[in-house]
Amino acid sequence: MFYKVLHTEIKPIENYNINRAFHYGDGFFESIYTENLQMPLFEYHYNRICKSFDILRLDKSFLPSSESLYDKIISTLIQPVPARIRLDFTREAEGLYLPDSNDVIFTITHKALESKIFESSKAVYNCAIYKENIKSSSALSCIKSKNALIYVLAAIWANQYHLDDAILLNEHQHCIESISSNLFIIRDEKIYTPTMQSGAVHGVMRSFIIDVLSEQGILVIEKDIEIEELVQADEVFISNSIKGIQFITSYLTKNYQIQFTQKIRQIVHSAFLKKMN
Protein backbone atom coordinates (compact mmCIF):
# COMPACT_ATOMS: atom_id res chain seq x y z
CA MET A 1 0.00 0.00 0.00
CA PHE A 2 1.20 3.50 -0.82
CA TYR A 3 0.27 6.66 1.03
CA LYS A 4 0.25 10.32 0.08
CA VAL A 5 1.24 12.66 2.92
CA LEU A 6 0.39 16.36 2.75
CA HIS A 7 1.07 18.30 5.96
CA THR A 8 -0.91 16.34 8.58
CA GLU A 9 -3.16 14.50 6.12
CA ILE A 10 -2.38 10.92 5.09
CA LYS A 11 -4.31 9.26 2.27
CA PRO A 12 -3.85 5.74 0.86
CA ILE A 13 -3.26 5.45 -2.87
CA GLU A 14 -4.80 2.39 -4.48
CA ASN A 15 -3.55 0.75 -7.66
CA TYR A 16 -0.30 2.73 -7.56
CA ASN A 17 2.17 1.57 -10.18
CA ILE A 18 5.88 1.83 -9.47
CA ASN A 19 7.47 4.32 -11.83
CA ARG A 20 11.23 4.15 -12.07
CA ALA A 21 11.40 7.74 -13.30
CA PHE A 22 9.64 8.83 -10.10
CA HIS A 23 11.73 6.66 -7.77
CA TYR A 24 15.14 6.76 -9.42
CA GLY A 25 15.08 9.34 -12.20
CA ASP A 26 15.57 6.37 -14.52
CA GLY A 27 14.85 7.90 -17.90
CA PHE A 28 15.17 10.99 -20.05
CA PHE A 29 13.00 13.46 -21.91
CA GLU A 30 13.03 15.31 -25.21
CA SER A 31 11.58 18.76 -25.94
CA ILE A 32 10.58 19.38 -29.57
CA TYR A 33 9.24 22.49 -31.27
CA THR A 34 6.28 22.06 -33.60
CA GLU A 35 4.44 24.49 -35.86
CA ASN A 36 1.94 23.88 -38.66
CA LEU A 37 2.00 20.17 -37.74
CA GLN A 38 5.69 19.98 -38.59
CA MET A 39 8.83 19.32 -36.53
CA PRO A 40 11.62 20.90 -38.60
CA LEU A 41 14.54 19.63 -36.51
CA PHE A 42 13.15 16.17 -35.84
CA GLU A 43 16.15 14.33 -37.30
CA TYR A 44 18.39 16.05 -34.75
CA HIS A 45 16.02 15.09 -31.95
CA TYR A 46 15.80 11.49 -33.10
CA ASN A 47 19.59 11.20 -33.21
CA ARG A 48 19.79 12.49 -29.64
CA ILE A 49 17.07 10.06 -28.54
CA CYS A 50 19.06 7.17 -30.03
CA LYS A 51 22.22 8.28 -28.22
CA SER A 52 20.28 8.59 -24.96
CA PHE A 53 18.99 5.03 -25.38
CA ASP A 54 22.59 3.83 -25.79
CA ILE A 55 23.94 5.77 -22.82
CA LEU A 56 21.14 4.57 -20.50
CA ARG A 57 21.32 1.01 -21.90
CA LEU A 58 17.67 1.00 -22.85
CA ASP A 59 16.32 -1.66 -25.20
CA LYS A 60 16.17 -0.04 -28.64
CA SER A 61 13.59 -2.52 -29.86
CA PHE A 62 11.10 -0.35 -27.92
CA LEU A 63 12.08 2.74 -29.92
CA PRO A 64 9.96 3.25 -33.05
CA SER A 65 11.68 4.13 -36.29
CA SER A 66 12.18 7.80 -37.04
CA GLU A 67 9.25 7.86 -39.47
CA SER A 68 6.95 5.94 -37.12
CA LEU A 69 7.77 8.13 -34.11
CA TYR A 70 7.25 11.28 -36.18
CA ASP A 71 3.81 10.06 -37.31
CA LYS A 72 2.82 9.04 -33.77
CA ILE A 73 3.66 12.50 -32.45
CA ILE A 74 1.90 14.38 -35.25
CA SER A 75 -1.20 12.21 -34.81
CA THR A 76 -1.59 13.57 -31.27
CA LEU A 77 -1.65 17.21 -32.41
CA ILE A 78 -5.01 18.87 -33.00
CA GLN A 79 -4.15 22.48 -33.82
CA PRO A 80 -1.29 23.67 -36.09
CA VAL A 81 -0.22 26.28 -33.52
CA PRO A 82 3.34 26.59 -32.18
CA ALA A 83 3.76 24.13 -29.34
CA ARG A 84 6.31 22.40 -27.16
CA ILE A 85 6.17 18.62 -27.46
CA ARG A 86 7.63 16.63 -24.61
CA LEU A 87 8.55 12.97 -24.93
CA ASP A 88 9.26 11.16 -21.66
CA PHE A 89 11.16 7.87 -21.91
CA THR A 90 11.19 5.67 -18.81
CA ARG A 91 12.66 2.26 -18.11
CA GLU A 92 9.62 0.04 -17.55
CA ALA A 93 10.86 -2.46 -15.00
CA GLU A 94 10.60 -3.64 -11.44
CA GLY A 95 13.46 -4.00 -9.00
CA LEU A 96 15.38 -1.50 -6.91
CA TYR A 97 18.55 0.05 -8.34
CA LEU A 98 18.97 -3.05 -10.49
CA PRO A 99 16.04 -3.23 -12.95
CA ASP A 100 14.74 -6.62 -14.02
CA SER A 101 14.53 -5.48 -17.66
CA ASN A 102 15.47 -2.63 -19.98
CA ASP A 103 12.01 -2.31 -21.53
CA VAL A 104 10.89 1.23 -22.28
CA ILE A 105 7.61 3.11 -22.12
CA PHE A 106 7.21 6.65 -23.37
CA THR A 107 4.59 9.35 -23.18
CA ILE A 108 3.77 12.30 -25.45
CA THR A 109 2.53 15.62 -24.10
CA HIS A 110 2.31 19.04 -25.69
CA LYS A 111 1.65 22.60 -24.64
CA ALA A 112 0.86 25.61 -26.84
CA LEU A 113 3.48 28.37 -26.93
CA GLU A 114 2.84 32.09 -26.69
CA SER A 115 5.23 32.88 -29.54
CA LYS A 116 6.95 31.21 -32.47
CA ILE A 117 10.54 30.08 -32.29
CA PHE A 118 13.03 32.98 -32.78
CA GLU A 119 10.18 35.41 -32.03
CA SER A 120 10.08 35.35 -28.24
CA SER A 121 8.96 38.69 -26.80
CA LYS A 122 11.53 38.24 -24.02
CA ALA A 123 14.74 37.72 -25.94
CA VAL A 124 17.09 39.79 -23.78
CA TYR A 125 18.71 38.33 -20.68
CA ASN A 126 20.93 39.36 -17.79
CA CYS A 127 22.75 36.60 -15.96
CA ALA A 128 25.35 35.63 -13.40
CA ILE A 129 27.28 32.47 -12.61
CA TYR A 130 25.63 29.89 -10.37
CA LYS A 131 28.26 28.56 -7.95
CA GLU A 132 26.24 26.78 -5.26
CA ASN A 133 26.40 23.49 -7.15
CA ILE A 134 28.42 22.22 -10.10
CA LYS A 135 27.47 19.93 -12.97
CA SER A 136 30.05 17.19 -13.42
CA SER A 137 31.25 16.27 -16.88
CA SER A 138 30.45 12.66 -17.75
CA ALA A 139 28.66 10.63 -20.40
CA LEU A 140 25.38 11.25 -18.55
CA SER A 141 25.82 15.03 -18.67
CA CYS A 142 24.94 15.36 -22.35
CA ILE A 143 21.43 13.85 -22.13
CA LYS A 144 18.21 15.47 -20.87
CA SER A 145 18.04 13.31 -17.78
CA LYS A 146 14.98 12.94 -15.57
CA ASN A 147 17.21 14.18 -12.76
CA ALA A 148 17.15 17.95 -13.33
CA LEU A 149 17.86 19.08 -9.76
CA ILE A 150 20.80 21.30 -10.64
CA TYR A 151 18.66 23.22 -13.14
CA VAL A 152 15.81 23.54 -10.66
CA LEU A 153 18.12 24.90 -7.96
CA ALA A 154 19.88 27.22 -10.40
CA ALA A 155 16.51 28.60 -11.52
CA ILE A 156 15.44 29.18 -7.91
CA TRP A 157 18.76 30.95 -7.22
CA ALA A 158 18.45 33.14 -10.33
CA ASN A 159 14.90 34.10 -9.40
CA GLN A 160 16.00 34.95 -5.87
CA TYR A 161 18.53 37.45 -7.24
CA HIS A 162 16.17 38.80 -9.93
CA LEU A 163 18.20 37.36 -12.81
CA ASP A 164 16.79 36.10 -16.09
CA ASP A 165 19.22 33.19 -16.28
CA ALA A 166 22.31 31.63 -14.75
CA ILE A 167 25.51 30.11 -16.14
CA LEU A 168 26.43 26.66 -14.81
CA LEU A 169 29.98 25.50 -14.10
CA ASN A 170 31.60 22.07 -14.23
CA GLU A 171 34.13 20.63 -11.79
CA HIS A 172 36.95 22.46 -13.60
CA GLN A 173 35.21 25.83 -13.10
CA HIS A 174 34.49 26.08 -16.83
CA CYS A 175 31.27 27.70 -18.07
CA ILE A 176 29.19 25.00 -19.75
CA GLU A 177 25.58 26.13 -20.31
CA SER A 178 22.69 28.13 -18.89
CA ILE A 179 19.64 26.77 -17.06
CA SER A 180 17.88 25.54 -20.21
CA SER A 181 20.14 26.53 -23.10
CA ASN A 182 23.55 26.06 -24.66
CA LEU A 183 26.08 28.86 -24.39
CA PHE A 184 27.96 30.77 -27.11
CA ILE A 185 30.38 33.67 -26.73
CA ILE A 186 31.73 35.99 -29.42
CA ARG A 187 35.05 37.82 -29.37
CA ASP A 188 36.54 39.64 -32.36
CA GLU A 189 33.74 38.13 -34.48
CA LYS A 190 34.89 34.60 -33.61
CA ILE A 191 32.25 32.27 -32.12
CA TYR A 192 33.05 29.88 -29.27
CA THR A 193 30.93 27.29 -27.48
CA PRO A 194 31.75 24.76 -24.72
CA THR A 195 32.73 21.29 -25.87
CA MET A 196 30.40 18.35 -25.37
CA GLN A 197 33.02 16.88 -23.03
CA SER A 198 32.55 19.86 -20.69
CA GLY A 199 29.24 18.56 -19.33
CA ALA A 200 26.85 20.57 -21.48
CA VAL A 201 23.65 19.03 -22.81
CA HIS A 202 23.96 17.92 -26.43
CA GLY A 203 21.62 20.64 -27.64
CA VAL A 204 19.60 20.22 -30.82
CA MET A 205 19.63 23.93 -31.64
CA ARG A 206 23.34 24.05 -30.83
CA SER A 207 24.00 21.34 -33.42
CA PHE A 208 21.76 23.06 -35.96
CA ILE A 209 23.54 26.40 -35.45
CA ILE A 210 26.96 24.82 -35.93
CA ASP A 211 25.81 23.02 -39.10
CA VAL A 212 24.12 26.09 -40.62
CA LEU A 213 27.04 28.42 -39.89
CA SER A 214 29.50 25.85 -41.23
CA GLU A 215 27.60 25.81 -44.53
CA GLN A 216 28.01 29.61 -44.61
CA GLY A 217 31.75 29.32 -44.01
CA ILE A 218 31.46 30.56 -40.41
CA LEU A 219 33.42 28.45 -37.95
CA VAL A 220 32.16 27.75 -34.43
CA ILE A 221 35.11 26.85 -32.21
CA GLU A 222 34.41 24.28 -29.49
CA LYS A 223 36.58 24.86 -26.44
CA ASP A 224 36.59 25.10 -22.65
CA ILE A 225 35.20 28.49 -21.61
CA GLU A 226 36.86 30.13 -18.61
CA ILE A 227 34.86 32.46 -16.36
CA GLU A 228 37.14 35.36 -17.34
CA GLU A 229 36.13 34.89 -20.98
CA LEU A 230 32.59 36.00 -20.14
CA VAL A 231 34.02 39.38 -19.16
CA GLN A 232 36.30 39.49 -22.20
CA ALA A 233 33.54 38.56 -24.67
CA ASP A 234 32.01 41.13 -27.00
CA GLU A 235 28.70 39.28 -27.23
CA VAL A 236 27.05 36.27 -25.59
CA PHE A 237 23.98 34.33 -26.67
CA ILE A 238 22.16 31.17 -25.66
CA SER A 239 20.17 28.68 -27.72
CA ASN A 240 17.59 25.94 -27.33
CA SER A 241 15.15 24.12 -29.58
CA ILE A 242 12.04 25.93 -28.30
CA LYS A 243 13.11 29.59 -28.39
CA GLY A 244 15.95 29.50 -30.90
CA ILE A 245 18.65 32.10 -30.23
CA GLN A 246 18.35 34.61 -27.40
CA PHE A 247 20.64 37.49 -26.55
CA ILE A 248 22.38 37.92 -23.22
CA THR A 249 22.97 41.64 -22.73
CA SER A 250 24.72 41.72 -19.37
CA TYR A 251 26.81 39.66 -16.97
CA LEU A 252 27.28 41.38 -13.62
CA THR A 253 28.55 44.85 -14.60
CA LYS A 254 29.58 43.79 -18.12
CA ASN A 255 27.27 44.89 -20.95
CA TYR A 256 27.31 43.07 -24.27
CA GLN A 257 26.67 44.15 -27.84
CA ILE A 258 24.18 42.19 -29.98
CA GLN A 259 25.00 43.23 -33.57
CA PHE A 260 26.95 40.13 -34.62
CA THR A 261 24.51 37.85 -32.81
CA GLN A 262 21.66 39.48 -34.73
CA LYS A 263 23.35 38.49 -38.01
CA ILE A 264 23.82 34.92 -36.78
CA ARG A 265 20.21 34.81 -35.62
CA GLN A 266 18.97 35.91 -39.04
CA ILE A 267 21.07 33.27 -40.82
CA VAL A 268 19.91 30.45 -38.54
CA HIS A 269 16.28 31.59 -38.56
CA SER A 270 16.26 31.66 -42.38
CA ALA A 271 17.69 28.14 -42.50
CA PHE A 272 15.04 27.00 -40.00
CA LEU A 273 12.23 28.49 -42.09
CA LYS A 274 13.52 26.63 -45.16
CA LYS A 275 13.15 23.36 -43.27
CA MET A 276 9.51 24.32 -42.58
CA ASN A 277 8.72 24.38 -46.32
* Three-state DSSP state, 135: coil
Q: Which residue range(s) make up the domain with 209?
A: 124-276
CATH number for 39: 3.30.470.10
With respect to residue 269, please indicate whether it lies within any of the assigned structural domains.
Answer: yes
The predicted structure's pLDDT at residue 19: 80
∠ CA 200-145-69 to the nearest 5 degrees?
105
Q: Residue 1 above 70 pLDDT? A: no
pLDDT of residue 35: 95
CA–CA gap between residue 27 and residue 25 (Å, rounded): 6
Q: What is the mean pLDDT of residues 161-176?
A: 96
pLDDT digits (tens, 9 = 90+) for 70-93: 999 999 998 899 999 999 999 999
- What contacts 28, CB < 8 A, 6 or more positions away? 52, 56, 89, 143, 144, 145, 146
Q: What pLDDT is stored for residue 16 in this prediction?
A: 62
Quick one: pLDDT band at residue 9, thresholds 50, 70, 90?
confident
On the question of pLDDT at 249 being above 70, the answer is yes
| Alpha-carbon radius of gyration of the chain | 20
Give the mean pLDDT of the chain. 93
Closest alpha carbon to 203 in 256, 240, 164: 240
Q: 1 or 95: whose pLDDT is higher? A: 95
Number of domains, the chain: 2
Q: How confident is the model at residue 18 (pLDDT cuts 50, 70, 90)?
A: low
Residue 117 lies in a domain: no
pLDDT digits (tens, 9 = 90+) for 134-164: 999 999 999 999 999 999 999 999 999 999 9
Higher pLDDT: 222 or 12? It is 222
Per-residue pLDDT tens digits for 182-205:
999 999 999 999 999 999 999 999
Percent of the chain with pLDDT over 70: 95
Same domain, 133 and 94: no
Q: Measured between alpha carbons, how far is 168 from 157 in angstroms, rounded to an integer?
A: 12
Q: Is residue 203 part of a domain?
A: yes
- Residues 271 and 222 occupy one common structural domain: yes
What's the distance, CA 160 to chain centroid?
22
